[in-house]
């Protein structure tokens, strides 16, 4: 979270896409309990027909929905 201002479900061993989709408030509370001091968290996701869905939790002080989706798209390009 500190380096990029977001976490992808593919990179985090402690969260799944299902958890990101419906529980980002609980995830934010958990991260704050463990030292997260950034902005409010929100979630973004994008489905790729040849890859599947990729989800992210992002710091709203550092990202917009659009920049989070762009990060997801760049990750997909690198993973292809």
Quote the pLDDT of residue 69. Answer: 97
pLDDT tens, position by position, 31-61: 889 888 899 999 899 999 998 888 888 999 9
Quote the pLDDT of residue 16. Answer: 62
Choose between 22 and 66: higher pLDDT.
66
Query: For residues 61 and 38, is the Cβ–Cβ distance under 8 A?
Result: yes
pTM: 0.81
Quote the pLDDT of residue 27. Answer: 79
Q: Where are the domains of the chain?
A: 6-79
Quote the pLDDT of residue 3. Answer: 81
Structure tokens at 52: 């599947």
Beta strands 6-8 and 52-59 are antiparallel
Quick one: how many helices (H) and strands (E) in the chain?
Answer: 2, 3
CA distance 35 to 65: 24
Query: For residues 67 and 75, is the Cβ–Cβ distance under 8 A?
Result: no
């Amino acid at each position: 979270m500190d380096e990029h201002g977001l976490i992808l479900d593919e990179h985090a061993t402690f969260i799944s896409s299902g958890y990101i989709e419906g529980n980002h408030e609980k995830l934010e509370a958990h991260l704050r309990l463990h030292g997260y001091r950034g902005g409010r968290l929100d979630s973004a996701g994008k489905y790729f027909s040849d890859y599947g869905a990729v989800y992210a939790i992002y710091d709203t002080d550092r990202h917009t929905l659009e920049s989070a989706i762009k990060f997801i798209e760049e990750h997909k390009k690198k993973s292809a």
